A and B are shown apart, each in its own frame.
Chain A
Amino acid sequence: MSLVFFWLASGWHVLLLLLSTTIDWRSGNSIHASSDKRVRKRWLMISLITNLSLLSIFKYLDFLIRSFNLAALKISNSPGLDELGLALPVGISFYTFQTMSYTIDIYRRKTVPYQSFVDFGCYASFFPQLVAGPIVRADDFKTQLDRPMSYNSANIKIGLTLIVYGLFKKIVFADNLALHANQIFTEGEHLGNIGLIWWASLCFGIQIYCDFSAYTNIALGSARLLGISLPENFKTPYAATSPQDFWRRWHISLSTWLRDYLYIPLGGSRHGQRVMLFALMTTMILGGLWHGASWNFVIWGLVHGLLLVGHRFLSKLNLVEKLFINFKTGSTIISWIITQYLVFLTWLIFRIEDVGVLFESMKTFVGIGGYFDFSEFMLFLPEIKLLTFALAVIFIIGHGFSGRFGGFVYQLSKQRSIAWGLTVGLMISVMYFLQPAESVDFIYFRF
């Protein structure tokens, strides 16, 4: 079923998924079966090289050619190489990372191979999360597959709630706010107006969260309907009070993957500051690059790496420690404001591909040469303004509260049938009638 789903979405690219699945299956079994370290390593390398090659060829090769051409043009004005123009296979970043973790975990003897190829195939290509995650660990999935499937009504209710909530976030919040962010960033006008840049950044921040977490909710909900529980990917990231805290709440399955399979192997934080710095910056830059073959993602990862480093050093300062001890609430609020200010600043890097527009926007965002003109602000925004403002306010309030009560999905799921039906009916109505005419693709489908 998953393969049919993938074939419908991605055509012949299903063969790449089959190739990756087959090689990782074979590698996993061979690693597990052998006690010879060299053999085990060789099979691990086969798995890693296969997956990273697929990723490199289909996702990064054209980017490298483009970068090479640019450099060659600057240096020698020589004619460039032709780009391959390969279409990006759907979900390649997710399933390659997922199956790599499988062979690495077997190599590390943290897990054992799946007993059947079908089970492993199901893990590698599980359709609800195949396209945009979350990245599931083999062991977590296997445990559930090994259990008898439990199609109970509670799971159905939770699954439906997750799906409706995901669709609600995507259609009502993400797609409506996207119109504002797109207008400002695409037009590239009035970039000196600080109001417009802050608003665009806020809109995009809400959009990307509601978009990505919505997909995760739908994936989790669909999996739940099949009796599978997938891990949470977000925990109110805009409540984070430090860059480190942010990465514990944002795209958790990727950040933990990067931590376990990149940061720690590169040395982590237990081998001195230099190693830690190297490991952290490398992890974050590669993490940025994972998002897309573009320099702005590299810079985005780099800046987040710098923020994490900066936070590490700052948090160890005596003054800061004392402040947090003596003025806990005040310090927490200030660090929340600073963290979110910086996080939303980095969204500009994530969103804007045009260097000129990005540079102007960032300057304005931090207040260099910016101005505020309310009339221009109102004039330049799309026609639907007040509704979008209202949605932003509702999101901020909802986001702030949802963490305190175990989350909206939990609260809704435990409601009795009439209250649940009324709320879901209301959500469906709002979704139906507030769906913008222009639909926007899930952002993380690109990755």
Chain B
Amino acid sequence: MELVNTGAKDRYLENLLRGQPPAGSHGWLNQIRAAATERANALTVPTTRDEEWRFTDPSPLLKFSFQPARGAQRLAQADIQRFVIPEASSDRLVFIDGIYAAELSTHCGNEHGILVTSLAQGLSSHGEILQQHLARNADFDNDVFCALNTSFLRDGALVIINKNVAYPAPIHLLFIATKPETAVYPRSLVVAGPGSRCALIEEYISLAENVYFNNAVTEVVVGENARVQHTKLQQESRAAFHIANCAVALAREANYISDTVTLGARFSRHNLHVLQTAEGTHCVLDGLALISGRQLADTHTYMDHAKPGGNSRQLHKCIVDDAAHAVFSGKVLVREGAQLTDSAQSSRNLLLSDKAHVDTKPQLEIFADDVKCAHGATVGQLDAEEVFYLRSRGLDDQGARSLLTYAFAAEIIDKIPVASLARQLRHTVMEKTQLREST
């Protein structure tokens, strides 16, 4: 411990906090970073004694000493070609180990009322909007991982959709991991102006089965009467740690539709926090975790109906094979005065082996009297009647099980509005479910 003592309570965090990028030229951002660093120093890595981490033990993270990525790995267009989504090829931001790769990124929409660029670029051209929204939604006061990310905040993805612009093509934010033993802090800010429409694909992939720590924060600000369709696809290395915080703020009559697909990482935690800041918002929070081996996938969602007349729909599915462990915690809070809230949540879980494990915890907290709220959770195996039905049509037992497992996943994948991505995911799920044939 011969280096600077950061004053951290937690030795592990102290180590992670080293090697931060130097302060930049924007005073307000330096202040935010300093405040976040202070919070990271004051907080500790959670344990299963923390209610929010009851089912997910983060201690495996502590076995590794991660360092910030030093220097950018250079990749050629050919290296990333297989990750290019045809529908989204005109607007793509690529980050390699958290560092912006301008040469692999495209920005065709910048002349059509949108801005898709790096945060660093945006800081000089759109400082006012950034100052208004960046780090204002994702809470770094109480979440140590969000504080860590914010402490490292220098660059990231920036998407701004101007007022009343309905941008037709999806915008692809592609985060590629290449180096082992690195800690990466991807950061994204999306601001959809009033009356605008856009579709986002936030994707995390890896070029090798390395151990690394991806600690991402995404903030989405949906303006009055705007609509944002947000697909998050987590396909990290199966040895990696992925901890992500996504914070969404909805203005009056805003629409936010989220699909989160979790396939990768040894250990993943996805926190999705949606705050209704004005009346009459519409929100869909769907998710699928398809895991096997010894993977752990934890999805925590928090829908905060702070104002009246909001509706929210949520269908979260987990398919758990081998000795994998899935966690779902879905909190819906209806605050005092948030009358006419209409909320429905469903958690459905499929266990494919005796050792597979799922913890599901729907939570409904209602402090208003004129609301409609429903929630439910199921955990089970494939239905024997369904298997028999398919076998009576000639499919063998394994084929019937694969088809039913695929179908369980397809209900979520079919909601993804980008055709090629949905097709690719269907293919991935087919491979994953048919892999069982050889086992």
Binding between chains A and B? no
Q: Which residues of B contact A (CB under 8 A)?
A: none
Q: Which residues of A contact B (CB under 8 A)?
A: none
